[in-house]
Amino acid sequence: MRVGIGYDFHRLVPNRKLILGGVEIPHTLGLLGHSDADVLTHAIIDAMLGAAALGDIGSHFPDTDPAYEGINSLILLQKAKAKVENLGYLVQNVDSTIIAQRPKLAPHIPEMRGRLAETLNLSLNEISVKATTSEGIGVVGREEAIAVQAIACLVERRD
């Protein structure tokens, strides 16, 4: 088994959609980024790439490449999964925590888990998404940003 840790952090701004785990969340602010800025999916990608010793999301999908401008991050997740599988690994499970002051994310977590599970070809019991606040502290607490921590476990593929 190989384990990787991912972390991502994006600023909240007006006039952008808030996308988390491939799900559009109703909110007055959205995340700033070159792609759709799906901070949850980006942290999971980093965890998977890290577990396979493949570097980070920016080295595979740079924000300087116009091909990734506005791209749905679930497409990047599929591409990262293929990179991991090309090395002979399979994603076994993912655990993640979204750190956001608002909006309330609990009602959206089942859909996030479903989209991520479908994209990674995993069962729902292999995808964990949790949400917490920062108790009003720091940039997350002031609703200036959202952060995510993720862990991915890979196993060797047995053909």
Beta bridge partner(s), residue 90 = 155
- Tens of pLDDT, residue by residue over 95-107, are 999 999 999 999 9
Q: Is 141's pLDDT higher than 90?
A: yes
Q: Is 157's pLDDT higher than 90?
A: no
The total domain count for the chain is 1
Q: Which pLDDT score is estimated for 158? A: 83
Q: Which pLDDT score is estimated for 104? A: 94
What is the domain range of residue 113? Answer: 2-156
Which whole number is the average pLDDT over 124-149?
Answer: 96
CATH number where 18 lies:
3.30.1330.50
**What does pLDDT average to over the chain?**
96
The CA-based diameter of the chain, rounded to the nearest angstrom, is: 49
| Residues 10, 32: Cα–Cα separation, whole Å | 6
8 A C-beta contact, residue 30 and residue 37: yes
From the list 19, 30, 33, the residue with the least C-alpha distance to 64 is 33
As a whole-number percent, the residues of the chain with pLDDT over 90 amount to: 98
Residue 67's Cβ-side half-sphere holds a number of Cα atoms within 13 Å equal to 6
Whether the predicted model's global pTM rises above the 0.85 cut: yes
Beta bridge partner(s), residue 149 = 7, 97
Amino acid at 7: Y
Which whole number is the average pLDDT over 35-62?
Answer: 97
- Residue 38 — pLDDT band, cuts 50, 70, 90? very high
Which whole number is the average pLDDT over 125-137?
Answer: 96
Q: Which pLDDT score is estimated for 53? A: 98
| Residues 141, 114: Cα–Cα separation, whole Å | 28
Helix ranges restricted to H, the chain? 39-51, 57-60, 73-86, 109-120, 138-141
